[in-house]
């Protein structure tokens, strides 16, 4: 039996070794090293700062089994015809700061390429060979100078991911509506102001990211019901597309508009939503539809208008993270025990005291509050579920509240950055579970000796503490 077990173990070990050898491929970063091992070299990454000469290209094209080639060079201005020898190439990435002279016919012959990335090497327009790579599945084009996306484009029937990052592109990329099998689309430009209606739409799109600073109108056809991820960063948008209300598969949402965009439409149809970030969005009242998104895990509001927002819409949701960052019209009285949230983040320079109902949130474990005018932490020690408290960037807080016996028993992390903080109460020694403590101020007047009694403390950071203020360890509580 023992012999049999040993035999089985040896067989499994050899099998695992064989699988590892098949899948573990060396990434070469030296052309000479790759050439020395050309029979097994499959991946070559030429690092930034390298010069790729004609002789280097002769060496590279000896690697006929190469499947992945990535070149990061500030000096490369041409690619020779002999690149056509790399017929096994599946992944090609070229990053340089020069306009590259492309051997069109040689590049077109590389029909095995599935993944193509061209960055800062396009000149004024996309090279024609890109349109002829019939097996292309993912295409990334990034260039700070390019102004045109060459048309007409061949259908590229296998293309499922397209990323175009061109700040100076002044028109919506022509011809991409022919990519009927696209699942992921990213377009970034500072100058595109219009998107034409898509007659048939992109019914297979799952991920859309738009960073378009000048866009004023977003057609509904670009937001099909099949979307799972949607990121709209369009500060000049005149109105939100109505199709936002019908995205049943959506799990991740990022919306950034402007003051002129108007209230966001209802998200009642986005029943699968898990994460939502709103940036410069005027949030509606009861019409937000968030009460239907019961699986939501994270909501963040950045510089949003929340005067009309109905906080009751969040009562039936167990949030892992709720963030309120520099928003207007916030009714902090509504952030209370009726909400279920684990981590709460508040950034508000107009906030002068800790919101009164926060300490009653029974699920709250992490609280991060910052604001220049914050002068009082109120009853925060009464939050028995709290394990981490951070108070940052306040100029008005001069002292921490006293701890009554039995409070703060579960607090493990306390981080205070308060420029005007002068004293810390002796009762801080009651935070017996504290493992990490940060106290930073411009100039402390005194610190309690009970700090030395925190026996579980692993990390202590004190800022603005002169030697004469440092507590004597003999006075520990």
Mean pLDDT over 65-94 rounds to 92
More confident residue, 259 or 101: 101
Express each pLDDT in 412-434 by its tens digit: 999 999 999 988 999 999 999 99
Most confident stretch, 144-148, 155-159, 264-268: 264-268
Residue 192: CB partners within 8 Å, gap ≥ 6? Answer: 169, 170, 171, 172, 212, 214, 215
pLDDT the model gives residue 49: 79
Q: Which two tokens stand for residue 466?
A: 């002169």
Structural contact between residues 222 and 198, judged by C-beta atoms closer than 8 angstroms:
yes
**pLDDT value at 59 more than 50:** yes
What pLDDT, on a 0 to 100 scale, did the predictor assign at position 472? 65
Closest CA to 406 of 437, 423, 383, 425: 383
Cβ proximity of 315 and 293 under 8 Å: no
The mean of the pLDDT values for the chain is 88
Can you tell me whether residue 195 is helix, strand or coil? Answer: coil
- Does residue 200 surpass a pLDDT of 70? no
The DSSP annotation for 110-130 comes to -TT--EEEEES--TTB--GGG
* Residue of higher predicted confidence among 200 and 255: 255
Enter the DSSP assignment of 265: P
Whether 9 has a pLDDT exceeding 50, the answer reads no
């Amino acid at each position: 039996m023992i012999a049999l077990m040993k035999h089985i173990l040896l067989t499994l070990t050899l099998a695992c070794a064989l699988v590892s050898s098949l899948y573990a491929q060396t990434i070469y970063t030296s052309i000479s090293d790759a050439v020395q091992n050309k029979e097994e070299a499959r991946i070559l990454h030429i690092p930034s700062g390298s010069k790729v000469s004609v002789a280097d290209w002769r060496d590279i094209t000896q690697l006929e089994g190469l499947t992945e080639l990535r070149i990061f060079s500030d000096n490369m201005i041409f690619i020779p015809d002999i690149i056509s020898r790399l017929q096994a190439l599946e992944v090609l990435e070229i990053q340089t700061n020069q306009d590259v002279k492309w051997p069109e016919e040689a590049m077109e012959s590389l029909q095995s390429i599935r993944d193509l990335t061209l960055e800062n090497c396009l000149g004024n327009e996309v090279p024609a060979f890109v349109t002829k790579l019939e097996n292309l599945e993912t295409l990334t084009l990034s260039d700070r100078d390019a102004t045109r996306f060459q048309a007409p484009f061949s259908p590229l029937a296998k293309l499922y991911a397209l990323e175009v990052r061109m700040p100076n592109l002044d028109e919506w990329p022509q011809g991409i509506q022919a990519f009927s099998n696209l699942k992921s689309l990213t377009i970034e430009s500072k100058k595109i102001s219009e998107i034409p209606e898509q007659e048939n739409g992109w019914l297979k799109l799952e991920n859309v990211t738009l960073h378009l600073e000048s866009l004023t109108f977003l057609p509904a056809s670009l937001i099909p019901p099949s979307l799972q991820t949607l990121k709209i960063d369009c500060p000049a948008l005149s109105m939100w597309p109505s199709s936002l209300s019908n995205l049943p598969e959506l799990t991740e949402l990022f919306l950034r508009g402007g003051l002129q965009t108007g209230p966001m439409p209802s998200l009642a149809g986005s029943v699968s939503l898990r994460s939502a970030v709103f940036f410069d969005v005027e949030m509606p009242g009861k019409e937000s539809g968030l009460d239907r998104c019961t699986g939501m895990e994270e909501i963040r509001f950045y510089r949003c208008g929340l005067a009309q927002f109905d906080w009751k819409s969040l009562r039936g949701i167990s949030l892992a993270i709720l963030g309120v960052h520099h928003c207007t019209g916030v009714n902090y009285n509504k952030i209370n025990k009726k909400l279920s949230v684990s981590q709460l983040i508040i950034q508000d320079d107009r906030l002068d005291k800790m919101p009164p109902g926060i300490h009653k949130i029974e699920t709250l474990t992490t609280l991060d509050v910052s604001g220049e005018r914050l002068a009082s932490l109120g009853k925060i020690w009464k939050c028995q579920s709290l394990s981490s408290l951070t108070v940052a960037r306040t100029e008005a807080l001069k002292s921490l509240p006293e701890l009554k016996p039995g409070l703060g028993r579960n607090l493990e992390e306390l981080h205070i950055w308060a420029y005007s903080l002068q004293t810390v109460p002796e009762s801080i020694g009651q935070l017996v579970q504290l493992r990490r403590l940060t106290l930073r101020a411009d100039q402390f007047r005194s610190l309690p000796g009970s700090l030395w009694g925190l026996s579980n403390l692993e990390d202590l950071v004190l800022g603005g503490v002169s030697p004469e203020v440092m507590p004597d360890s003999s006075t520990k509580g």
